[in-house]
């Protein structure tokens, strides 16, 4: 029996090339590598998404939401791809096995399809599954012509419906390429495609801009009981920041691409006054560096880095304020440090209960609809090199 339908963002992460990879490979090693990679993919998509179903070499995940933070969605998908590529590299480097399954690991890749629409939960053989036309469309889109049309084997395709839910007015300006597919019984589906191989290359070539420990004039820190992705969302989302940031009544975001990142300008409203922030470096869900101009005349621009460090209790958020180079600027900033202490310490203190409440809601939702179990992996690539049997 179907429950009431609800809007959701649906994402399918599909390991490309796995069928061909299986041909002529040692099955036990190939299956263990698949389990390892699927665990990496699902782990990177959590907790933004919940696992609906494992489908061989693909993971079908979802998030119930009428609208989507477009930047958060794209960041999550790309960070998942980056984690996948790092894992491929680690597996190959950690293995001394000369079997085809281990040698051909670099031939695997990852592609994503993201759609948005109404879904309903149904019970099938004591398992909770998603149903509805949106689920059908998302799965149909896995069999597409993106590689032939655009020459991309690693990509994320966001449907028109998903782009609308993201509020992305100009997908081309955001670096997405238009692609169309036609299906019997469904009709034409417009998709917008991101080159993930290009995103990976750009990320690998980038030089991070981070305020180092020795460069910091002041450091504020707090630990929150949530994974980095959740702490990141609360700390960077313009919609969430007024709920915890000291004195902030609203955040107006201006981005030339329509996507949050380096080059984005934030106008953080403090009543009638505004602090103008320029994002210098954006590395979800690890660090963000901003240069801020306070409305008070004579105060120099100040650079801060927010670092999101995994900790046993969750995530430790560290904020570092760059020490100004000029002596005059250092004197001015030193004079306003008590005000900055009040602002940052008060903000971090207010953020804690909000994150705790969010995590409680997520645990409650998880208790209602349990997720499928992930296939067990031997874990040989995690701790020691993998050698062929008998070596």
pLDDT tens track for 101-156: 677 777 889 999 999 999 998 877 667 789 999 999 999 999 999 999 999 999 99
More confident residue, 244 or 367: 244
- Mean pLDDT on 3-24: 84
The one-character DSSP state at 375 is P
Instruction: State the Cα–Cα distance between residues 282 and 232, nearest whole angstrom.
Output: 11
264 pLDDT above the threshold of 60: yes
| 124 neighbors 169 (Cβ within 8 angstroms) | no
Instruction: State the Cα–Cα distance between residues 48 and 66, nearest whole angstrom.
Output: 14
At residue 1, the pLDDT reads 44
- Tokens found for residue 304: 């801060």
pTM tops 0.85: yes
- Mean pLDDT on 52-77: 94
All domains of the chain, ordered by start, with CATH? 6-203 (3.30.70.1230), 207-365 (3.30.530.20)
Partnered with residue 322 across adjacent β-strands are 216
Q: What percent of the chain stands above pLDDT 90?
A: 72
Instruction: State the Cα–Cα distance between residues 241 and 347, nearest whole angstrom.
Output: 9
Report CA 10 to chain centroid distance, whole Å. Answer: 15
84 pLDDT above the threshold of 60: yes
Mean pLDDT of the chain: 90
- Mean pLDDT on 71-85: 96
- Whose structure tokens read 């409203």? 269
At residue 390, the pLDDT reads 39
379 pLDDT above the threshold of 50: yes
């Amino acid at each position: 029996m179907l429950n009431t339908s609800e809007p959701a963002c649906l994402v399918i992460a599909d390991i490309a090339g796995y069928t061909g990879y299986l041909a002529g490979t040692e099955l036990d090693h190939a299956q263990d590598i698949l389990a390892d990679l699927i665990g990496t993919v699902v782990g990177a998509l959590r907790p933004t998404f919940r696992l609906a179903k494992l489908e061989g070499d693909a993971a079908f995940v979802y998030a119930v939401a009428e609208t989507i933070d477009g930047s958060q969605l794209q960041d999550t998908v790309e960070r998942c791809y980056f984690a996948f590529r790092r894992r491929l590299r680690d597996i190959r480097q950690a293995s001394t096995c000369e079997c085809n399954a281990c040698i051909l690991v670099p031939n695997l890749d990852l592609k994503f399809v993201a759609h948005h629409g109404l879904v309903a939960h149904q019970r099938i053989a004591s398992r909770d599954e998603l149903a509805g036309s949106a689920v059908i469309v998302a799965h149909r889109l896995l069999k597409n012509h993106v590689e032939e049309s655009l020459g991309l084997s690693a990509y994320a395709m966001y449907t028109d419906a998903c782009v609308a839910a993201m509020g992305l007015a100009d997908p081309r300006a955001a670096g997405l390429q238009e692609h169309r597919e036609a299906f019997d019984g469904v009709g034409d589906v417009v998709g917008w495609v991101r080159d993930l191989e290009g995103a990976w290359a750009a990320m690998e070539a980038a030089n991070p801009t981070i305020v180092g420990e020795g460069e910091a004039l002041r450091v504020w820190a707090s630990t929150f009981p949530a994974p980095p992705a959740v702490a990141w969302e609360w700390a960077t989302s313009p919609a969430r920041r007024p709920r915890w940031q000291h004195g902030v009544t609203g955040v107006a975001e201006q981005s030339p691409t329509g996507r949050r990142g380096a080059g984005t300008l934030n106008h953080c409203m403090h009543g009638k006054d505004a602090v103008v922030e320029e994002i210098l470096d954006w590395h979800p869900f690890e660090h963000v560096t901003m240069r801020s101009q306070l409305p008070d005349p004579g105060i120099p621009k100040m650079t801060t880095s927010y670092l999101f460090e995994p900790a046993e209790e969750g995530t430790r958020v560290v904020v570092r304020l760059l020490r100004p180079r000029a002596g005059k600027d250092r004197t001015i900033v030193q004079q306003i440090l008590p005000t900055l202490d009040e602002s940052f310490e008060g903000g971090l203190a207010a953020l804690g209960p909000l994150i705790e409440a969010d995590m409680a809601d997520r645990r409650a939702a998880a208790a209602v609809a349990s997720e499928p179990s992930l296939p067990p992996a031997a874990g040989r690539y995690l701790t020691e090199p993998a050698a062929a049997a008998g070596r």
